[in-house]
Amino acid sequence: MNRSDGNGMRSFVLPRARAVNYIGVFQDVCQLIGEEATAKLVTQYGGTRLYLPATIKPEHPLCQLLGQEIAQKLAGEFSGLSVEIPRGVKLLIRQRNTLIFADRALGISHRQLALKYRLTERSIREILNQSPK
């Protein structure tokens, strides 16, 4: 949804109804910049607004975070908009769980996984009892 913030700046807010659904919120952004870059974006800026200029200079924080090419893709898509970045909790949990499955496949114990991911051993068991997605 496009709107003005009262200062003449256009902004884009992802609809709240879509914020509940990982696919709905991140589908366009993930297709544009990839899941790994999207995870970095929501980790750094989730829950805040981010202004995207038409062109991004190499010293822009997004270039430092995502690289020039990916940052420019975002700027091209959302040029001149102040974008409210969702927190992306489901995306981050999904990525974390994928890493837990991979680490477990390498033989890392439940205890070591709990310490590494700052979870309880019970949480690790519950995650590992789910089918990997």
For 26, residues 6+ apart whose C-beta sits below 8 A from its C-beta are 35, 38, 86, 88, 91
Residue 12 has pLDDT above 80, yes or no: no
Cα–Cα distance measured from residue 129 to residue 100, given in angstroms and rounded to the nearest whole number:
12
Residues 75 and 44 grouped into a single domain: yes
Distance of CA 116 to the CA centre of its chain: 21
- 28 lies in a domain? yes
Residues 55 and 75 grouped into a single domain: yes
Tens of pLDDT, residue by residue over 104-129, are 999 999 999 999 999 999 999 999 99
Can you give the pLDDT at residue 25? 44
Residues 50 and 34 grouped into a single domain: yes
How many domains are there within the chain? 2
Return the DSSP state at 127.
Answer: H
Can you give the pLDDT at residue 19? 35
What is the mean predicted confidence (pLDDT) over 4-31? Answer: 52
Cα–Cα distance measured from residue 91 to residue 27, given in angstroms and rounded to the nearest whole number:
11
User: Binning pLDDT at 50, 70 and 90, where does residue 79 land?
Assistant: confident
Residues 66 and 10 grouped into a single domain: yes
Its domain, for residue 112, covers 91-128
Pair 13, 50: CB distance under 8 Å: no
What is the mean predicted confidence (pLDDT) over 33-56? Answer: 88
The secondary element (H helix, E strand) that includes residue 121 is helix 121-128
Cα–Cα distance measured from residue 78 to residue 74, given in angstroms and rounded to the nearest whole number:
6
- 37 lies in a domain? yes
What is the mean predicted confidence (pLDDT) over 27-43? Answer: 85
